[in-house]
Structure 1
Amino acid sequence: MRALLLSAYAAASHRHWASGVVEWLDDVEWTLLELPPRHFRWRIRGNPLSWMLRDHEILAQRYDVILATSMVDLATLCGLYPHLGQAHKVVYFHENQFAYPLSRHQKPQAEALMVNLYSALAADRLVFNTAYNRDSFVAGARRFLKRMPENLPAARPLAKLAEAAEVLPVPISPLHRPSSLRKAGRRIIWNHRWEYDKNPEDFFAVLISLAERGIEFDVAVMGQTFRDCPTIFDEARQRLGERVVCWGPQPEGAYREVLASGDVVVSTTWHEFQGLSIMEAAQSSVLPLVPERLCFPELYAAEYRYDGTREGLESTLEAWLTSPDRRPPPPDVSAWEWPALVGRYRALLSGR
């Protein structure tokens, strides 16, 4: 089987997924085309042109399967290379633009929404990493189409997309360590992107409050940083002082080591379609503490969720830090690992 894997905005989670697909489905003859994760507006609208100008000879070949991320303008690409339309076309949604929270400086981008929608309509199979991702895509597309100048019948194609969609997570690679170890320490982990949509303000407000009240803990703040990041990070580092044991991005080995030393990993995010960083921490027996929103209710049992408020987070964190015996056991993450999911990915590519 010859397969073309297309990733139009190869951010960290997308690279993780693509490398896993190639590694675990090694009986497939893969050709991978990626574009760097920068200049988002140009990438999501211009990726067919970028690949046509750079990789014409690759696109001119024939493939049995095309596996594309939702950032890929698959409809335009198949228009430029009609023979690609004859392949079995699968679009994988790590996220969807209809449910992406905007900062106060951003405006909705109709073109990004249309690329998601056109690619879904051009595909033979749609795959979403969570049911929340699927449902928010369909609901968002329905709201978007109601804004069209003409009152067109959109219900039938959207219902068809929803029926054809499959939920299949981005797998994590198995670790060679026990995943059921109970821990009684007081190390809190933050391992998310340093951006507004991850809501670091709530996280650090709670930690600063706990510190001022004399609750014992230390914190490792990792994750991807950017040129512009929320000002709360500088303020928090100063106010948390010696409680900070790690700050900023880490090499893979150091990241895994610090992660394994953690006791609780916290999310306060406004935007999450699966949350690989939380899954990776849970895999190292770090207890996830996630808000009661987005994708989390379908992934984590009630004992790992708080009500989504600062007060709810602070109350649960305080209880877990001061009374380790009140903590739940680590969750079983084996269902999210590649050995459990590789068969479903293979069936997806074969069209079964």
Structure 2
Amino acid sequence: MSILLIEAFYGGSHKQLVDLLKEEMEECVLCALPAKKWPWKARTAAISFMQMVPHNANYRVLFASSVLNLAELVALRPDLGKLKKVLYFHENQLVYPVQKCQERDFQYGYNQILSWFMPKHKLAHLEKIIGVKRTGDAYQREGLPTQQQSGAPGSLTKTSSVRLEPGLCEGQPGLPATQPERPPSPLATPEASSKAGASERTNPCQEGDKQHLTFNPCNILSGADYQQRPLHVVWPHRWEHDKDPETFFKVLLQLKEKELPFHVSVLGESFSEIPDIFSEAKKALGSSVLHWGYLPSRDDYFRALCMADVVISTAKHEFFGVAMVEAVYCGCYPLCPKALVYPEIFPAEYLYSTPEQLFKRLQNFCKRPDIVRKHLYKGATAGFSWAALRGKFRALLAAEAREDLRQMGLSHKLAA
């Protein structure tokens, strides 16, 4: 048990990654908290893990996602301070889009700063961007009290069989079968923090009022030749504001107004707070909708991607974009913003700069769907597979740090 995997938000791409590492790496132990109440986890996970993680002299490497305030955990558990630490960033909370016109909750970004070593020139640039100033060993932002400072790709699509009970450190003898999640600090209530930051996340399979339908490709192909059926657009993203569903549906409704033929499948997880645009768009799109909602079965999800022609992203914040790469693997033609991480992954012909450009591309595809159905993707995707990345992860999680690995910038490239 030389590798300690810590995940404060055990769900979605967070779960996908640590499950894969647990399955593929020898001598791993995984400690995790349930994928709900994200703001509460970001504030208090370190105190929960302080109590959950058993003392073990065999730990050599600590791997955690940036939901955890790593600096706080090390302060609470000095025995973990000696380990080599790898911090995986699924997102950057300093620039994560806010949902409402309100002052950003600085605590989430501040946690990431505390957990992440930065060279002096990058630190100075960061201070300038986010509007903080340093006085000695303290940071101060206008209107906020001074706070003391304490002392880095892949579409990992391999299916994992690892299962972990919520709030449990797996692989440690003597632990109870379940470990209750402890909210140990009154710094913020879950309700208040969910309004100030990211929305509260819950397991969509447990929500009785949401539509989780089984996808049946026969409903698409019956009575229509493949080449003759309308263009099929898929949007396989979380139903949250940072994915900008408003822009996506605005473009589709423009196509609808022009009476252009198309079908749409809106996949991805929905959480406790669903943007109003989803119910409004479903009604307005009417018969153009082929599928609407979360697909619990991974096979059904990939089958749905295989039946689609075009996959679209309208995201405002993206470190990698697993869903887009998975859709390309399934044969979809990608259309992505010419921003964020996308230009690093997709060739220029798959990028658009404005919603108007996206509309024009889709308008042409609606008129000639055979264009995308005959198209062969021109980018390279093999490098994002687990087969290509396995060796890099093994080297990264080796007990001894190496300078060349520190320069690889894996934390930026690894998926979100």
Q: Same-fold call, TM > 0.5?
A: yes
Partner of 2:286: 241
- Provide Cα deviations, 1:199-249, integer angstroms capped at 9, x if missing partner: 111111111111221211101111111232111111111111111110100
Q: CA deviation at 1:153?
A: 11
Kindly provide the CA deviation profile for residues 51-70 of structure 1, in whole angstroms up to 9, marking residues without a partner as x: 223x15x2455401111111
Cα distance in 2 for partners of 1:139, 1:286 equals: 39
Amino acid at match of 2:129: R
Residue 383 of structure 2 corresponds to 335
Alignment check: 8 A CA contact 2:269 2:293 kept:
yes
Match of 1:37 in 2: 35
- 2:4 is the counterpart of 1:4: yes
Pick the structure with more helix per residue: 1
1:324, 1:249 → 2: CA distance? 26
Q: Indicate how the Cα distance of structure 1 residues 84 and 204 shifts in structure 2: closer, same or farther if over 3 A, else same.
A: same
Q: Deviations over 1:153-212 (max 9, x none)?
A: 99xxxxxxxxxxx5x4353339xxxxxxxx966110011111111111111111111122
Does the CA-based 8 Å contact 2:234-2:264 persist in structure 1?
yes
Q: Does 1:263 align with 2:249?
A: no
User: 1:264 and 1:283 mapped to 2: Cα distance?
Assistant: 12
SS of the aligned residue for 1:233 comes to helix
Unaligned runs of 5+ in 1: 127-135, 155-165, 175-182
Q: Give the % identical residues.
A: 34
Task: Name the residue aligned to 1:173.
Answer: 158
Indicate yes or no: 2:335 matched with 1:294: no
Q: Distance in 2 between matches of 1:339 and 1:149?
A: 44
1:106 offset after TM fit, Å? 4.6
With over 3 angstroms needed to count, the CA separation of the structure-2 counterparts of 1:346 and 1:138, relative to structure 1, is: farther
Change (3 A) 1:191 1:141: farther
CA distance in 1, matches of 2:344, 2:370: 26
Residue 68 in 1 paired to residue 64 in 2? yes
The 1:143/1:30 distance shift into structure 2, 3 A limit, reads: same
Pairing 1:115-154 to 2, within 5 Å after superposition: 115-121=111-117, 140=126, 142-144=128-130, 147-148=132-133, 150=135
Q: Tell me the secondary structure at the aligned position of residue 42 of structure 2.
A: helix
- Structure 1 residue 138 displacement after superposition: 8.8
TM-score by length of 2: 0.70
Q: Between Structure 1 and Structure 2, how many residues are aligned?
A: 315
Query: Alignment partner for residue 273 of structure 1, among 319, 324, 331?
Result: 319
1:16-165 paired onto structure 2 within 5 Å: 16-25=16-25, 28-53=26-51, 55-56=52-53, 58-104=54-100, 106-121=102-117, 140=126, 142-144=128-130, 147-148=132-133, 150=135
Paired residue type of 1:86: K
SS in 1 for 2:116: helix
1:7-35 Cα distance to aligned partner (Å, 9 max, x none): 1122301111111222232xx21111111
* 211, 221, 237: which one aligns with 2:266: 221
Instruction: Indicate the SS of the match to 1:121.
Output: coil
Give the deviation of 1:137 after TM superposition. 9.6
Distance 1:107 1:312 in 2: 32
Q: Match of 2:34, as an amino acid?
A: P
Q: Which residue of 1 aligns with 2:236?
A: 191
Name the TM-score, length of structure 1 as normaliser.
Answer: 0.82
Q: What amino acid does structure 2 have at the position aligned with 1:262?
A: A
Conserved in 1, the CA contact under 8 Å of 2:7 and 2:64? Answer: yes
Give the conservation status (yes or no) of the 8 Å contact 1:48–1:73.
Answer: yes
Q: Which runs of 5+ in 2 are unaligned?
A: 140-151, 160-225, 403-416
Q: Contact 1:201–1:232 (CA<8 Å) still a contact in 2? A: yes
Q: RCO higher in 1 or 2 (8 Å CA, sep ≥ 6)?
A: 2
For residue 151 of structure 1, report the CA deviation from its aligned partner.
7.0
